[in-house]
Amino acid sequence: MNDLIYNAKNLSKSFGAISVLRDLNFAAARNKTHVIIGRSGSGKSTLLSLLAGLDRPTSGAIEFDGAALETRCNEELAQLRRQKIGIIFQSFNLLPSWTAVENVEAVLMHSDIAPDARRKKAVALLSELGLGERLNNLPAELSVGQQQRVAVARTLVNDPKVILADEPTGDVDPELGLEVIKRLVACVKNNGTTLIIATHGLFPLEYADKVWELKDGKLQ
């Protein structure tokens, strides 16, 4: 098996006349924590979107788990995200009209897992994250920290091979941010997950296996 979970070559992404990523090369080893640091607007979120298959590159190639990503159809990309890729968004992106447990369960819907089993799994994960009392609250009824933990639970519930985290500590206090990082890093150690974190702020580098800086559309 290839040691690299991701291998992106000459990756470019433009929005109209604005070029965000330019001939970027990125390789991520399995079972490691990769940190991409960059200023706001440097293209970190765009890069994660391309790695998650949420968007398509203007040019270049992305190899994921030994297979080309950019040539897959939308349905295949959706399947890939459901089975192998977990995403934590900067603004959490929880469904506002769904409760905490329903948000976590959403990842397991339309699958072979029985409704009872997926509910059990979501409840167990949220309880583990200290949200056992908040299962039936809507996101608007939760604090920012609690929302973040729901987002983390949603990411972990399908045991992904890769976790892509966009500013996971951006909107929470440092103590809570560190707690989230520890939990994600624990997944790397315990489950063999690969963690790719994009951040513009300070990151406790002792948790990182590899640190990249995104500048002028390229990784350095």
Partner 1 sequence: MMSDSLTCAIRELRRRKLRTATTVLGNLLAVMAMVMLASVLVYSRSSKDNVLNNLGTHFLAYVPAPPGTGDAADECFFADPARTSLIPLSTVDQINANKSLVLSASGFLLYRLKDVDKKFVHVGGFDPANPAAVNGSSLQKSDIIAGEFIAPGQKGVCLMEEGFALVRQMRIGERFPIGNKSFKLAGIVRPGIRPAKADVYIDHEEARELISGRLGKPLGPFANIVIVEVASSQIQPKTIEWVKTLLPGCMIDTYACYDPAARVMNMGQKSIAVLLAVIFAGTVLLMARTHWTAINERWRDIGILKSIGWTNSQVVSQIMLESLLQSAVAGLLGGLAAVIVLVVLPLKNFLGSEIAFSTTSSLQMLAAGVVLALVTGLLAAAGPALAAARTTPAESLRR
Q: Which residues bind to partner 1, rule: CB under 8 A?
A: 49, 52, 54-56, 74-75, 78-79, 81-83, 87, 89, 93-98, 102, 106-107, 109-110, 138, 154, 158
- Give least dist CB 52 to partner 1, A: 7
- Give least dist CB 34 to partner 1, A: 20
Q: Which is nearer to partner 1, 79 or 143 (CB)?
A: 79
Q: Which is nearer to partner 1, 88 or 208 (CB)?
A: 88
- Give least dist CB 58 to partner 1, A: 13
- Give least dist CB 70 to partner 1, A: 12
* Closest by CA position to 217, among listed 16, 1, 25: 25
CB 80 within 8 A of CB 53: yes
Q: Which is nearer to partner 1, 106 or 135 (CB)?
A: 106
Distance CA 13, CA 19 (A): 6
Distance CA 170, CA 176 (A): 10
Q: Please return the burial class of 116, using the count of CB atoms within 10 Å of its CB with bins 0-12, 13-18 and 19+.
A: exposed
Distance CA 164, CA 69 (A): 15
Q: Which is nearer to partner 1, 49 or 194 (CB)?
A: 49
Q: Which is nearer to partner 1, 170 or 204 (CB)?
A: 170
- Give least dist CB 97 to partner 1, A: 4
